[in-house]
Amino acid sequence: MVNRIQQFTVLRKQAANARWICRCPHQERRLVKPLTFSSAWTLLRYNRPIKMKFGVYIQVPFCQTKCTYCNFHTGVVSRDRYEPYAAAVCSEIGQTAGLTAAEIRDVSVDTVYFGGGTPSLLAPVALENILESLRDNFSLERPSQQQSARTDNAEITLEADPETITREKAEAWLRAGFNRISLGAQSFSDTELQAAGRMHRRTDIFAAAAVLREAGFRNISLDLIAGLPHQTRESWEESVAQVLRIRPEHLSIYMLEIDEGSRLGKESLAGGKRYSAAEIPPDDSMAEFYDSACVRLAAAGYEHYEISNWALSGMRSRHNLKYWQRRPYLGFGAGAHSFDGVKRWSNVHDSAQYVSCIQQGTSPREQIETVTSAQALEEELFLGLRQLEGIDLERIERDYHVNLQTRIAPLAQQGLLELNGKRLRLAADRLTVSNEVFVELLG
In tens, the pLDDT along 363-415 reads 999 889 998 999 999 999 999 999 999 999 999 999 999 999 999 999 999 99
Q: What is the pLDDT of residue 102?
A: 57
Report the pLDDT averaged over residues 257-273. 90
b vs e for 210-222, b when ≥16 Cβ sit within 10 Å of the residue's Cβ? ebbeebebebbbb
Provide the pLDDT confidence category of residue 27 given band limits of 50, 70 and 90: very low
Using pLDDT thresholds of 50, 70 and 90, give the confidence band for residue 332: very high
**Measured between alpha carbons, how far is 315 from 353 in angstroms, rounded to an integer?**
37
Give the residue from 57, 167, 30, 171 showing the smallest Cα distance to 117.
57
Residue 354: which of 337, 377, 335, 327 has the closest Cα? 335
The one-letter amino acid at 91:
S
* Mean pLDDT for the stretch of residues 232-259: 96
Kindly tell me the burial class for residue 299, based on how many C-beta atoms sit within 10 Å of its own C-beta (0-12, 13-18, 19 or more). exposed
Whether residue 149 has pLDDT greater than 70 = no
Q: What mean pLDDT comes out for the span 344-356?
A: 94
Strongest mean pLDDT among 49-53, 150-154, 425-429: 425-429
Domain boundaries of the chain, sorted by first residue:
20-371, 375-442
* Cα distance between residue 248 and residue 32, in whole Å: 48
Judge if pTM exceeds 0.75: yes
- Cβ atoms within 10 A of the Cβ of 335, count? 22
Give me the CATH code for the 20-371 domain, please.
3.80.30.20
How far apart, in whole angstroms, are the C-alpha atoms of residue 34 and residue 40? 9
Question: Which DSSP string do the residues of 315-342 spell out, in sequence order?
Answer: ---HHHHHHHTT--EEEESTT-EEE-BS
Q: What is the mean pLDDT of residues 86-110?
A: 83
Interval 29-46 mean pLDDT: 40
Across 106-116, average pLDDT: 89
Instruction: Tell me what pLDDT residue 104 has.
Output: 60
Count other C-beta atoms under 10 Å from residue 150's C-beta.
Answer: 12
Q: Of 192, 265, 177, give the one whose Cα is nearest residue 225.
A: 192
Task: Compute the average pLDDT of residues 127-143.
Answer: 89
Which is nearest to 253 in space by CA: 312, 194, 300, 185? 185
The 10 Å CB-count burial string (b at 16+, else e) for 3-25 is eeeebbebbbbebbbbbbbbbbb
Q: How far is CA 215 from the centre of its chain?
A: 25
Mean pLDDT of 146-161: 76
Nearest to 182 by CA among 123, 217, 122, 222: 222
Residues of the chain above pLDDT 70, percent: 84
pLDDT of residue 443: 76
Average pLDDT along the chain: 86
Specify the range with the lowest mean pLDDT, choosing from 27-36, 214-223, 355-364, 433-442. Answer: 27-36
pLDDT of residue 144: 61
Taking the CA of residue 240 as centre, how many other CA atoms within 13 Å lie in the half-sphere pointing to its CB?
A: 24
With vertex at residue 359, the alpha carbon angle to CA 353 and CA 363, rounded to the nearest 5 degrees, is 65
Name the least confident of 69-73, 188-192, 340-344: 69-73
pLDDT band at 341 (very low <50, low <70, confident <90, very high): confident
Does residue 23 contact residue 328 with C-beta atoms inside 8 Å? no
3-state helix, strand, coil in the chain (%, to 5): 45, 20, 35
Q: Return the biggest CA–CA distance within the chain.
A: 59
Residue spans of alpha helices (H) in 138-262:
167-176, 190-195, 202-215, 233-246
Instruction: Write the CB contacts of 42 (distance below 8 Å, at least 6 apart in sequence).
Output: 103
Whether the per-residue pLDDT at 3 is higher than 60: the answer is no
d(CA 182, CA 163): 13
Do 20-371 and 375-442 share a fold?
no
| DSSP-derived secondary structure for 82-132 | HHHHHHHHHHHHHHHHHHTTTTTTTEEEEEEEEEES-GGGS-HHHHHHHHH
pLDDT number for residue 204: 98
pLDDT above 80 for 298: yes
Query: What's the distance, Cα to Cα, between the start and end of the chain in Å?
Result: 9
Question: Considering the domain 375-442 in this protein, what is its CATH number?
Answer: 1.10.10.920
Report the 10 Å Cβ neighbour count for 270.
Answer: 11
pLDDT value of residue 442? 86
